[in-house]
Amino acid sequence: MSTSVTVSEARSALPEIIERVLAGDEVTLTRHGIAVAVVVSPDALRVRRADQALIAAASVNELLEQGRRSGLRSRPTMSGERAEALLVDLRAARSRG
């Protein structure tokens, strides 16, 4: 369950907010009617971050699969000279770094 309180109310109600979060609730803090923060348990935050990472990984995997299915072009799209110039630049940047 999600609850919304103003920042001013939260200052005086912090112990109650913590109890609600420990009970599994989320508490949204608002300022001038705009949500500025959400208080959640560390476990809930970890789950959300893991879910986001899994979604991003699935997206990358789909892009890799699309690349595998499309195959390589029949002829290079970059000249040998341009490729060599890029390698020279890359090696120079690594030696500086």
Query: What is the per-residue pLDDT across 53-91, written as a single tens digit (0 to 9) for each?
Result: 999 999 999 999 998 888 777 777 888 899 999 999 999
- Domains by residue range for the chain, with CATH: 2-40 (3.40.1620.10), 44-96 (no CATH)
The terminus-to-terminus CA distance of the chain in angstroms comes to: 50
Q: Which amino acid is at 70?
A: S
pLDDT in the model for residue 77: 81
